[in-house]
Amino acid sequence: MPFVNLIINFHGAKALRSFREYNEIAFHTLVELLLPRENCLSEMRLVKDFKKNTVRYGFIDVFVCDHYGFKSVVLELKCFSMLGLYNGKMGAWKEGMIDWESLKNLNDELKTEPEDVLMGRNYMYYSKDDRKYKLSTVRNIIDDGLKQIRGYINIASKGEFRQNKIGIWDERIEIEDGDGFLGGYLIVSLGSGRILTRTINFKKINYRFLVKK
């Protein structure tokens, strides 16, 4: 996947210490910078549910469409911080930064580790909902990401939001009736030199999407 190589090349130019707390916001910003701005939207708003005048929203990380609106892509981004991976390995959250040598060793492991081993790694993160640090695995978080992106693709495939239904509700996108295709990619960053991807196959839909100029 050529786009993955662009990300890895950019990561390779960064100082290793910048990956200690490299997070999804920073990764999201990088991905946006590498994409053509005229054809993509950040945080495109969806209506996930509409009941009794209560709306539940969802937001696609990055939505990309071609110049003709014929083919569109949903990108879901996940970033595992080195600090979260290190503390997951230790089994407890340790305040402060990991030392440079430990950071380098972990980063080197991530570059070459077999994917099945990598997926079984523990990851520690702070849960805002539970107000505490929680332990999960790389596999569980990726599986949750796949579930999320499939849900978003299903919603976007319905076209524009209508009352009591689900769909896209974002003034930055133009939605036209017509044959189109919609698919997605989950892109996962781990350290400076490892990117995992998962593909959601493209399916035919009854809409075309164009970014408003």
Number of separate domains in the chain: 1
Domain assignment of residue 95, yes or no: no
Nearest-CA neighbor of 186 among 213, 162, 153?
A: 153
Locate the DSSP E strands across 10-116: 40-51, 54-65, 71-80
Q: Which domain does 169 fall in, by range?
A: 2-79+139-211
**Tell me: the pLDDT tens digits for 91-140?**
888 766 688 899 999 999 999 999 999 999 999 998 888 888 899 999 99
For residue 34, the 8-state DSSP code is H
**Tell me: the pLDDT tens digits for 25-84?**
999 999 999 998 899 999 999 999 988 778 999 999 999 999 888 999 999 999 999 999
pLDDT recorded at residue 21: 86
Domain assignment of residue 41, yes or no: yes
pLDDT recorded at residue 191: 94
Domain assignment of residue 102, yes or no: no
Mean pLDDT of the chain, nearest integer: 93
pLDDT recorded at residue 68: 84
Domain assignment of residue 120, yes or no: no
Domain assignment of residue 53, yes or no: yes
The band of 159, judged by pLDDT with boundaries at 50, 70 and 90, is: very high
Domain assignment of residue 84, yes or no: no
pLDDT recorded at residue 67: 85
For residue 161, the 8-state DSSP code is -
pLDDT recorded at residue 120: 97
pLDDT recorded at residue 127: 86
Give the residues across from 181 on adjacent strands: 71, 204
- Per the CB < 8 A criterion, the answer to whether 185 and 199 are in contact is yes
Number of Cα atoms under 13 Å in the Cβ half of residue 106: 26
**Tell me: the pLDDT tens digits for 5-20?**
999 999 999 999 899 8
Which residue has better confidence, 48 or 164?
48
